[in-house]
A and B are shown apart, each in its own frame.
Chain A
């Protein structure tokens, strides 16, 4: 086994591991078979598992996710790919009205063990309709679990948990992280859904991050250390279940909270997280809570403009220094 594996290859590896252990796992999506995915996140799957388990679909997002739902209700564990997370809007009926509700509204008569995988986020200059971080779109709907890994081994471990989950999971793969490298996951590696990971220990401030904002937070923490500020970095890894307990435990130590989100400030997931902290952890705080999120504008195309909208290391470092001085 190689010393390192890219996040991109970890996606295919994570799916392949589950397909090997469970014949009911099948994949469907646009260009996932012979083309091996537009992001090359399904490389090798068609070759290893054949056309009965890896299905190329037309550009029909409703049919893709709706068919995955029907298959999940009848004994399969489908893994559906929606190429860009922006396209979740094309099948949002299934995300908002069908998949999260059918178990509940039938009084528990059916179960929907499926995964919707999708490439999320910006920073690559794809413009307003192919760059959004839309985890908040999904977070708005009770009844879905949400994973958004930041490292290669978490991609594999969370993919295993997501595919094995009897509940529906939306799995965000960050486009900006696909080329990053990390240690490969051990055989049988599974990361339980809803367990945050402390990426760096610190005493002065807690930085809560998700997916692409995890490396941003880690870079900022390194700079902050040079300024004499010790930052703890927590990777949430999942939004549902949301590991509030891990955040509160960190605040026992640091008493200062900064949440770093790529989705827009308006309606972003951090709003829910900080509301729980304000409600249940107010006594732990020595300073106001800060949310650093994307600006509330559509994503622009040019690099120089996109960098204005999505929070980067400079902005995070600056805001944390202000807070540390409070």
Chain B
């Protein structure tokens, strides 16, 4: 069954932390593959890559119960994978294959793994915050002690649904976590240029009488502990928490965006604060050998290389799929 208590980061052993590192490496390599496949024309439409933001997804996921709910944005590959979607399922979805996570009906922006509580990636900014509030409300009504987590970007904090959600969740004291991945850019615009407060999520929490925390979103153990504490509070009936995890994306906003609007020294500073490097330092402090880390890297590389091959060789989406899954009976009839 599910664990009822999650250990503090200080009690995680070398094996635990190495597993978190390997998962981040798996996401990093999958995102790189998604980028390369997009540039070579095998992924159509768009992608919003989360390379650089892996620690938020992996740290948070490790601090949650398997039956908790997660809602993400169109930049959500890392959240799907952190909740158990495989690189192969994800890449196959991006490549419009029948074996894709959503059978090629969602695409990059809608990765979903409902069987493990990852209830979707949503491409209308802020739309999923009320859903997470509703999932938390449902958990309360069913008495399950599950929590719901909404991950969102800094740009989301200026849309109405964000404020409606924080207020309703606060008034109803629901077990929901609002986790902002502040990567400092609302698409192509610095968040500070369009937001009146320095911490777009955390500084708004007080207006809804919610506790908040600004954390280093690139340190997987810092994220883990912050989410663990917030989830504990939520399960105890103490209501929602706003966590603002500062992080940085390594790629542009979407597609082939080179992100030249970001100052070079800023990019360099953040690349020197890479979540994988930080995790490697953590592993060093736990006396994990370089050899063990390299083996984890090799495993991740192999899984992603195999995933790329499998996705490339998978059959295209079945044309009949266009007409299934509109209704719960599987069909789409709108008239007699």
Please give the residue numbers on chain A whose beta carbons come within 8 Å of chain B beta carbons, in ascending order. Answer: 26, 52, 55, 57-58, 60, 62-76, 78, 93-94, 97-98, 102-111, 113, 142-143, 165-167, 194, 240-246, 276
Contact = CB atoms under 8 A, between A and B. Distances in A.
A108 to B, nearest CB: 4
Given A63-B167, A142-B332, A240-B334, 17 more contacts: A26-B141, A58-B164, A58-B167, A62-B161, A63-B133, A63-B168, A67-B137, A68-B134, A70-B134, A70-B138, A70-B148, A75-B138, A105-B102, A105-B106, A109-B114, A241-B333, A244-B336
Closest 8 A/B residue pairs (Cβ): A66-B130, A70-B134, A67-B134, A166-B328, A70-B131, A107-B103, A63-B164, A60-B164
A60 B335 contact: no
B324 interface: yes
B102 A67 contact: no
A242 B151 CA distance: 39
A15 B26 CA distance: 49
B135 A73 contact: yes
Most chain B beta-carbon contacts within 10 A, residue among A55, A71, A72: A71
Contacts of A167: 327-328
Interface of B: 69, 71, 100-106, 110, 112-115, 119-120, 122, 124, 127-139, 141-142, 148, 160-161, 164-165, 167-168, 171-172, 321, 324-330, 332-336
Most chain B beta-carbon contacts within 10 A, residue among A52, A66, A67, A76: A67
A241 B332 CA distance: 10
Given A70-B137, A70-B138, A244-B336, A97 B127 contact: yes
Given A58-B171, A74-B139, A104 B105 contact: yes
A63 B136 CA distance: 13
Contacts, number: 163
Given A62-B161, A104-B105, A110-B120, A242 B334 contact: yes
22 contacts: A57-B168, A58-B164, A60-B167, A66-B134, A66-B161, A69-B134, A71-B135, A74-B119, A74-B134, A76-B142, A104-B325, A105-B106, A106-B106, A106-B114, A107-B103, A107-B321, A142-B326, A166-B327, A194-B335, A194-B336, A241-B335, A244-B335
Most chain A beta-carbon contacts within 10 A, residue among B130, B141, B321: B130
Contact of A243 (B71, B130, B335): B335
A63 B130 contact: yes
Contacts of B328: 103, 111, 113, 165-167
B138 A71 contact: yes
Nearest to A90: B160
Given A69-B130, A244-B336, A245-B336, A143 B135 contact: no
Given A104-B105, A105-B106, A167-B328, A65 B138 contact: no
Contacts of A70: 69, 71, 119, 130-138, 148
Contacts of A68: 134
B335 A110 contact: no
A108 B101 CA distance: 11
Given A67-B134, A241-B336, A108 B330 contact: yes
Contact of A102 (B103, B115, B120, B334): B120
A110 B130 contact: no
B contact face: mostly helix, strand, loop, or mixed: mixed
B140 to A, nearest CB: 9
Nearest to A143: B326
Contacts of B138: 70-71, 74-76
Contacts of A104: 105, 325-326
A62 B330 contact: no
Nearest to B107: A105
Contacts of B114: 106, 109-110
Contacts of A276: 335
A67 B168 contact: yes
Contacts of B137: 67, 70-71
A52 B141 contact: yes
Contact of B336 (A64, A67, A243): A243
Nearest to A28: B137
Contacts of B129: 66
A97 B325 contact: no
A108 B326 CA distance: 8
Contact of A242 (B128, B131, B172, B336): B336
Contacts of A103: 325-328
Nearest to A243: B336
A73 B148 CA distance: 12
Contacts of B325: 103-104, 107-108
Most chain B beta-carbon contacts within 10 A, residue among A26, A57, A106, A143: A106
B124 A246 contact: no
A74 B165 contact: no
B110 A69 contact: no
Contacts of B128: 66
Contact of B141 (A71, A97, A106): A71
A110 B324 CA distance: 13
Nearest to B327: A167
A323 to B, nearest CB: 24
A98 B127 contact: yes
Given A73-B131, A94-B127, A106 B110 contact: yes
A165 B328 CA distance: 9
Most chain B beta-carbon contacts within 10 A, residue among A57, A70, A109, A143: A70
Nearest to A59: B164
A194 B327 CA distance: 14
B280 to A, nearest CB: 35
A108 B325 CA distance: 5
Nearest to A194: B336
A63 B165 contact: yes
Given A67-B137, A107-B102, A109-B112, A74 B69 contact: yes
Contacts of B332: 142
